[in-house]
C-alpha cells in the first residue's frame, strides 16, 4: 500500500489523527477471541517492556551534552543524522535492551528508541530557553525592566518573537527552585528531572514484521490491525509472541480515500485507545492573494465575535454583513463551577496531607484516597468540557468563513496575554480560557476546506476605531454614553462618529489588519503556522474599513394626502369575558377551542345551539359525527352564546393590536 495519496493540481497532502477504540482481537495461532480486558492486558505487557527500556535510555542520556549532540543533527564523523529518532540513536550508538531473561524482537527495541529519542529532542528547546533565562537573571524576578527584557530575548534563540508568558513561567519555576535550594539551577535537567514514561506503543516505528494495517474488504468504515503481542508479561522465547488481528471501526472523519498509518496504542484501564494517523488530499491554502477574510476576536462571556470583510479592487476594505457572536455563557458558567469545586477539593486534600504527615496508617488516609479520586473525576470533566467547547467554537468559526466565501481566517495572537488588575475571579476566568485549543481546532478544520488561518498582532485592535483609527471611548452601554465601561465603543471623531459593540469593532480591525499585511505573512519554523509578526505603520494606515453608504430599500416620498385614521381603537378579538361555566362535569373552555383528538365530544349535551351553527345533514353521503351528536359541523366548532342571553360589555384597556 502506498503511504502517499494521489494529488491533483492545487492540492496538498494533510496528515491528521483520529481517536478510536480497539475493542476485541483474535489470536491467529490459537483462534481464540480476545475480549477487551484480555487484549488490554496483553498490550499492557508489551507497553511495560517498552517503557522499561525507555527509562534506561533516558536515565543515561538525560544531560545537556547528549541532548546537544542529538540536536546538532550530525554524528561523530560529520554525517547527517536520520530524521527518525530510533535511527538517529542507533547511528550514535545509544542502544536499548530489555531486562535479562526477556526476549523481544528488534521492532520492540525500535519503539523504545523512538520514544526516548523524541523525548530527548523535545527538551532541547526548553534547555535553550532556561539557559538564556538563567544567564540574564533579573534583579527582581517578579518584574523585569525593559533592558532586562531585551537581554533575555537576545540570549534565547528565537526570543524576538517568543511570547513573554513562556519566559515569565520559566522565571517563576527557577525562582521556586531558588527559594527551596538557595541557589539557581544549572540547567533544565536539574530543574525538571527525568520525565515520566507513558505506557504506549509507537507502532509507527515498526514495519510489517511487527504490525500492519489495511482497510477491510467488506467496507470502507473498517480497518484490520495485525500486531505481535506477548502471551505472558516476561516472554522468554519468540514462541511467547503471537499475531493478534484487531478489527477497528474507522471514525466518520476519516475520508474513504485516505491512506492509513500505523496507530499509537495506549491503555487506560481495560480500554485500549488507538491514535490513528491518516493522510489525505486537501485544497492548498495560500498565504497571500486573499480578497475576502474572516476576522475573529476573543471575548470573555461572548467567546468569539466574527465577521467578514472584502478587499475591493481600489484597495478599499468593506464589511460583508454585521457579523455574528458565539456565546457560551452557560458552558463557561459550568466550567467555572467545576473550577471552584476543584479548588475546594485540592484545599481539603492538602489539609488532609498535612494532618497525615506521611503516616500511611492514619485514619484520614482512606478519606484522602476518596478525595484524590474525586479530584481526578472533576479534572476529567473539565478536560472533556473544554475539549467539546473548543471543537464547537472552531466549527462555528469555520462555518462562518465558508458561508462568507472567505479564503483566510485572521485570529488575534493572545499567547502573551496575562490577566491582571480585574480581580481574582475574573483574572482566573481569563487565564483558563480555551483559546489555544480553539485556534488549533480551527486550523485543523479550516485545512480541510483550503482556508488559511493566520494569527495577527493583537495590539490596539480594541482601542482604535475600525473606520478612522481614532482612539475609542468605551462606555458601559449604548443607552448610557456617559458611564465609563468596556462593552460599548464610541468614536469621538466628528467626521466618523462610529459606535458599536467593542468586540464587533475588534474583528473589523483584525480582518482589515490581516488583509493590509498579508504580504508579510510567514510560516513559523517550529509550528508551521501562518503568522503576521509585526505591524508596519505604512500598511496599518490602509487597514481601515470604509463604511458602506446607507440606501433606502423603499421610496418613502409623500405623493398625496395622508389617509385619515380613526381615533377609536379597533376592538380586540377577546374583549368579552367568557360565559359562566354551566353545571355539570364539563363545560366550554374559556375563549378557546375544544381538543380535536378526543374520542367523544365534550360539552355536546350542554351546548346552546344558536342560529350560527349548521343543521344536521340529512344526506347519507356525508354525515359528520359532530352534527349527529348535535355539536355543529366540526368537532372543534364552538357556537356563540344565544342572543337572548345578556353578557355584560366590558372595555379592554390593553389597546389595539392593529
Residues 6+ apart with CB under 8 A from 189: 62, 63, 64, 123, 127
Cα–Cα distance for residue pair 282/65, rounded to 1 Å: 42
Grid coordinates of 471: 482612539
Cα–Cα distance for residue pair 492/474, rounded to 1 Å: 10
Ramachandran angles phi, psi of 37, nearest 5° = -70, -45
* Continuous H helices in 299-434: 329-356, 365-404, 424-431
3-state helix, strand, coil in the chain (%, to 5): 35, 20, 45
Assess whether pLDDT exceeds 60 at residue 635.
no
Angle at 409 (CA atoms; ends 403, 415), nearest 5 degrees: 140
Strand partners, 271: 268
Q: What is the C-alpha end-to-end distance of the chain, expressed in Å?
A: 73
Mean pLDDT of 559-585: 63
Kindly report, as residue ranges, where domains of CATH 3.30.420.10 are found in the chain: 292-327+388-540
H helix or E strand, kind and range, residue 293: strand 292-298
pLDDT reported for residue 421: 47
H helix or E strand, kind and range, residue 323: strand 317-327
Grid coordinates of 638: 364552538
Residue 459 vs residues 306, 463, 464, 498: alpha-carbon distances, Å: 18, 8, 10, 20
The three-class DSSP label of residue 401 is helix
The three-class DSSP label of residue 432 is coil
Ramachandran angles phi, psi of 476, nearest 5° = -70, -40
Are 287 and 521 in contact by the 8 Å Cβ rule? The answer is: yes
Mean pLDDT of 376-392: 92
Closest C-alpha to 508, from 289, 305, 315: 305
Strand partners, 454: 410, 530
H helix or E strand, kind and range, residue 200: strand 200-202
Are 625 and 656 in contact by the 8 Å Cβ rule? The answer is: no
The whole-angstrom distance between residue 127's C-alpha and the CA centroid of its chain comes to 30
Residues in the chain: 658
Q: Sign of dihedral through CA atoms 517, 521, 526, 529?
A: positive
Domain 292-327+388-540 belongs in CATH node 3.30.420.10: yes
Cα–Cα distance for residue pair 17/9, rounded to 1 Å: 24
Are 308 and 514 in contact by the 8 Å Cβ rule? The answer is: no
Cα–Cα distance for residue pair 578/589, rounded to 1 Å: 8
Ramachandran angles phi, psi of 292, nearest 5° = -120, 125
Cα–Cα distance for residue pair 108/96, rounded to 1 Å: 10
State the pLDDT confidence band at 331, using cuts at 50, 70 and 90. Answer: confident
pLDDT reported for residue 612: 47
Pairing of strands 317-327, 473-477: unpaired
Cβ burial, residue 203 (10 Å; 0-12/13-18/19+):
buried
Closest C-alpha to 40, from 273, 277, 239: 273
Please state at what angle helix 365-404 crosses helix 329-356, rounded to 10 degrees.
160
Strand partners, 213: 225
State the pLDDT confidence band at 298, using cuts at 50, 70 and 90. Answer: confident
Span 267-297, pLDDT tens digits: 988 899 999 999 999 999 999 999 999 999 9
Mean pLDDT of 302-330: 90
Mean pLDDT of 145-162: 90
pTM over 0.85: no
State the pLDDT confidence band at 657, using cuts at 50, 70 and 90. Answer: very low
Span 2-17, pLDDT tens digits: 578 888 888 999 999 9
Q: Sign of dihedral through CA atoms 235, 21, 222, 280?
A: negative
pLDDT reported for residue 142: 87
Span 31-78, pLDDT tens digits: 999 999 999 999 999 999 999 999 999 999 999 999 999 999 898 888
State the pLDDT confidence band at 466, using cuts at 50, 70 and 90. Answer: very high
Are 551 and 345 in contact by the 8 Å Cβ rule? The answer is: no
Radius of gyration of the chain (CA): 36
Task: Read off the DSSP letter of residue 642.
Answer: P
Span 405-447, pLDDT tens digits: 999 999 988 765 554 544 555 445 445 567 888 999 999 999 9
Amino acid at each position: 500500500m502506498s503511504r502517499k495519496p494521489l494529488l491533483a493540481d492545487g492540492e496538498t497532502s494533510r496528515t491528521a489523527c483520529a481517536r478510536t477504540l480497539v475493542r476485541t482481537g483474535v489470536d491467529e495461532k490459537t483462534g481464540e477471541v480476545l475480549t477487551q480486558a484480555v487484549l488490554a492486558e496483553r498490550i499492557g505487557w508489551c507497553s511495560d517492556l517498552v517503557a522499561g527500556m525507555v527509562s534506561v535510555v533516558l536515565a543515561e542520556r538525560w544531560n545537556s551534552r547528549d541532548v546537544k549532540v542529538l540536536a546538532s543533527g550530525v554524528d561523530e564523523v560529520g554525517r547527517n543524522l536520520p530524521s527518525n529518532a530510533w535511527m538517529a540513536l542507533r547511528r550514535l550508538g545509544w542502544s536499548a535492551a530489555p531486562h535479562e531473561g526477556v526476549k523481544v524482537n528488534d521492532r520492540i527495541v525500535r519503539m523504545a528508541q523512538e520514544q526516548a529519542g523524541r523525548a530527548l529532542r523535545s527538551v532541547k528547546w526548553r534547555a535553550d530557553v532556561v539557559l538564556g533565562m538563567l544567564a540574564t537573571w533579573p534583579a527582581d524576578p517578579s518584574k523585569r525592566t525593559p533592558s532586562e527584557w531585551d537581554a533575555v530575548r537576545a540570549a534565547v534563540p528565537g526570543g524576538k518573537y517568543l511570547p513573554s508568558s513562556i519566559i515569565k513561567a520559566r522565571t517563576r519555576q527557577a525562582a521556586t527552585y531558588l527559594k527551596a535550594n538557595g541557589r539557581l539551577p544549572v540547567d533544565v535537567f536539574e530543574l525538571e528531572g527525568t520525565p515520566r514514561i507513558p505506557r504506549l506503543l509507537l507502532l509507527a516505528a515498526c514495519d510489517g514484521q511487527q504490525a500492519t494495517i489495511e482497510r477491510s474488504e467488506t467496507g470502507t468504515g473498517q480497518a484490520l490491525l495485525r500486531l505481535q503481542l506477548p502471551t505472558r508479561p516476561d516472554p522468554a522465547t519468540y514462541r511467547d509472541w503471537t499475531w493478534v488481528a484487531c478489527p477497528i471501526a474507522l471514525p466518520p472523519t476519516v475520508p474513504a480515500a485516505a491512506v492509513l498509518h500505523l496507530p499509537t496504542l495506549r491503555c487506560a484501564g481495560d480500554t485500549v485507545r488507538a491514535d490513528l494517523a491518516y493522510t489525505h488530499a486537501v485544497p492548498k491554502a495560500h498565504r497571500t492573494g486573499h480578497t475576502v477574510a474572516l476576522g475573529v476576536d476573543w471575548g470573555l462571556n461572548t467567546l468569539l465575535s466574527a465577521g467578514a470583510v472584502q478587499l475591493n479592487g481600489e484597495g478599499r476594505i468593506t464589511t460583508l454583513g454585521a457579523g455574528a457572536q458565539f456565546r457560551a455563557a452557560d458552558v463557561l458558567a459550568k466550567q467555572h463551577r467545576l473550577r471552584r469545586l476543584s479548588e475546594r477539593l485540592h484545599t481539603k486534600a492538602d489539609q488532609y496531607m498535612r494532618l497525615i504527615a506521611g503516616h500511611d496508617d492514619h485514619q484520614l488516609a482512606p478519606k484522602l484516597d476518596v478525595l484524590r479520586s474525586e479530584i481526578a473525576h472533576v479534572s476529567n470533566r473539565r478536560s472533556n468540557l473544554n475539549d467539546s467547547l473548543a471543537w464547537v467554537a472552531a466549527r462555528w468559526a469555520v462555518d462562518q468563513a465558508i458561508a462568507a466565501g472567505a479564503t483566510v481566517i485572521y485570529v488575534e495572537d493572545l499567547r502573551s496575554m496575562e490577566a491582571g488588575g480585574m480581580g481574582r475571579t475574573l483574572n482566573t476566568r481569563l487565564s483558563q480560557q480555551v483559546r489555544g485549543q480553539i485556534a488549533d481546532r480551527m486550523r485543523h478544520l479550516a485545512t480541510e476546506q483550503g482556508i488559511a488561518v493566520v494569527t495577527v498582532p493583537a495590539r490596539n485592535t480594541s482601542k482604535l476605531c475600525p473606520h478612522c483609527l481614532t482612539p475609542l471611548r468605551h462606555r458601559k452601554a449604548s443607552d448610557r454614553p456617559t458611564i465609563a465601561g468596556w462593552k460599548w465603543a464610541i468614536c469621538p471623531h466628528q467626521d466618523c462618529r462610529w459606535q458599536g459593540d467593542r468586540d464587533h469593532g475588534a474583528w473589523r480591525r483584525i480582518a482589515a489588519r490581516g488583509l493590509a499585511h498579508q504580504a508579510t505573512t510567514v510560516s513559523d519554523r517550529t509550528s508551521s503556522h501562518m503568522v503576521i509578526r509585526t505591524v508596519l505603520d505604512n500598511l496599518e494606515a490602509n487597514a481601515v474599513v470604509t463604511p458602506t453608504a446607507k440606501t433606502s430599500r423603499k421610496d418613502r416620498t409623500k405623493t398625496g394626502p395622508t389617509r385619515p385614521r380613526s381615533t377609536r381603537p379597533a376592538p380586540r378579538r377577546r374583549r368579552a369575558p367568557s360565559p359562566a361555566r354551566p353545571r355539570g362535569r364539563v363545560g366550554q373552555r374559556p375563549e378557546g377551542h375544544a381538543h380535536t383528538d378526543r374520542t367523544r365530544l365534550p360539552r355536546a349535551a350542554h351546548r346552546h345551539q344558536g342560529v350560527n351553527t349548521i343543521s344536521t345533514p340529512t344526506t347519507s353521503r356525508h354525515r359528520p359525527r359532530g352534527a349527529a351528536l348535535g355539536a355543529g359541523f366540526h368537532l372543534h366548532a364552538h357556537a356563540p352564546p344565544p342572543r337572548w342571553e345578556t353578557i355584560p360589555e366590558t372595555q379592554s384597556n390593553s389597546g389595539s393590536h392593529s
